[in-house]
Amino acid sequence: MTLSLAQNGKPLLEGKVTLLTGANGGIGLAVAYAYLASGAQCVITDLPQEPSPGVAALLGRFGDDVEYIHGDITDSATRQHLITSTLSRFGKIDVLFNNAAIFDMGPLLEATEAQFDKLFNVNVKAMFFLMQDVANVMVDAKANGKIINMASQAGRRGEALVAHYCATKAAVISYTQSAALALADKGITVNAIAPGVIDTPMWTHVDALFAKYEHRPLGEKKKLVGEEVPLGRMGMPNDIAGTALFLASPLSDYITAQTYNVDGGNVMS
């Protein structure tokens, strides 16, 4: 299913230029579909040099309205290239979907500086500085912009085996609040989405790590976390795309500094 919305008979994101990171698959890809189907133009970025079959399908379906750029957003030169390429192609940036992130876990007493640095470099440092870079573009253009950062239910609480990842996502929530206040008088809204357990390709990696550290059979953790969700299942990428579309649209113009739990009822706040 591809989400799309219209307002007053026009596509909801008609004329909007959106920049999405970590969008070669999973949640990012679902959000890109929703944005394009709602009239936006999109620049999609991720690490792989070649687009995934899902992104290739987007390129085929939406043609000149979408571009894929590969690169590592932990590198400042790559971030600048991404922004200048978007401006060169489409002339502006109205929406940033700041989604790129990585996951790792392990016993706290065995945690290393290398693990810490890797997670914080991607999930916090790159997230913050891309948000800052895009916000400066929006301010210079004197245009109302929307920034959407991807947090996690893991940012709402600590977990014994997931200390670094939980801390990075808590930082995303905090930076979202601070940025929203700093940019409010510029007409830029900043919000976040905190997904629960979402059935994406990354869960193969997550499940394998839980199997290792909790001594479980492969697949058991994924099954259990889905059953424990109050709505009775893991989420799907399109479950996140609806909220991402809302936050990118004029429907959310009076909302800022918020983090939306999209988790089937796992977290109540």
Q: How far apart are CA 207 and CA 27, in angstroms?
A: 18
Domain membership flag for residue 267: no
Paired with 146 in beta bridges are 95, 189
Tell me, yes or no, whether 216 and 90 share the same domain.
Answer: no
Q: Could you give the CA distance from residue 243 to residue 30 in angstroms, rounded to a whole number?
A: 11
Residues 205, 110 share a domain: no
Coil, strand, or helix at residue 155?
Answer: helix
Entry pTM: 0.95
Q: Are residues 69 and 173 in the same domain?
A: yes
Same domain, 216 and 176: no
pLDDT tens-digit profile, the chain (269 residues): 455 556 667 899 999 999 999 999 999 999 999 999 999 999 999 999 999 999 999 999 999 999 999 999 999 999 999 999 999 999 999 999 999 999 999 999 999 999 999 999 999 999 999 999 999 999 999 989 999 999 999 999 999 999 999 999 999 999 999 999 999 999 999 999 999 999 998 889 999 999 999 999 999 999 999 999 999 999 999 999 999 999 999 999 999 999 999 999 999 98
Residue 155 lies in a domain: yes
Strand-pair partners of 21: 45
Q: Is residue 3 part of a domain?
A: no
User: In this structure, is residue 6 part of a structural domain?
Assistant: no
How far is residue 126's CA from residue 95's CA, in Å, rounded to a whole number? 17
What's the pLDDT at 225? Answer: 95
- The whole-number pLDDT of residue 1 equals 43
Residues 182 and 205 in one domain: no
Give catalytic status of residue 33 as yes or no.
no
79 and 147 inside one domain: yes
Query: 86: phi > 0 → left, psi -120 to 50 → alpha, else beta; which?
Result: alpha
Report if residue 61 sits inside a domain: yes
Per-residue model confidence (pLDDT) at position 3: 54
What stretch of H or E contains 261? strand 259-262
90 lies in the same domain as 177: yes
Per the CB < 8 A criterion, the answer to whether 68 and 59 are in contact is: yes
R_g over Cα of the chain:
18
Give the tokens for residue 3: 């989400």
Q: How far apart are CA 6 and CA 4, in angstroms?
A: 7
Please tell me the total count of domains within the chain.
2
* Same structural domain, 127 and 228: no
Domain that holds residue 218: 200-234
In a domain, 138, yes or no: yes
**Residue 184: inside a domain:** yes
Asked whether residue 141 falls in the same domain as residue 56, the answer is yes
The span from the CA of 149 to the CA of 7, in Å, is: 24
What is each CA distance from 227 to 222, 237, 247, 266, in whole angstroms? 9, 18, 29, 11
Residues 179 and 106 in one domain: yes
The CATH number given to whatever domain includes residue 150 is: 3.40.50.720
Catalytic residue among 68, 165, 175, 260: 165
Q: Is residue 23 part of a domain?
A: yes
Residues 91 and 150 in one domain: yes
30 and 50 assigned to the same domain: yes
Query: According to the model, what pLDDT value does residue 10 have?
Result: 84
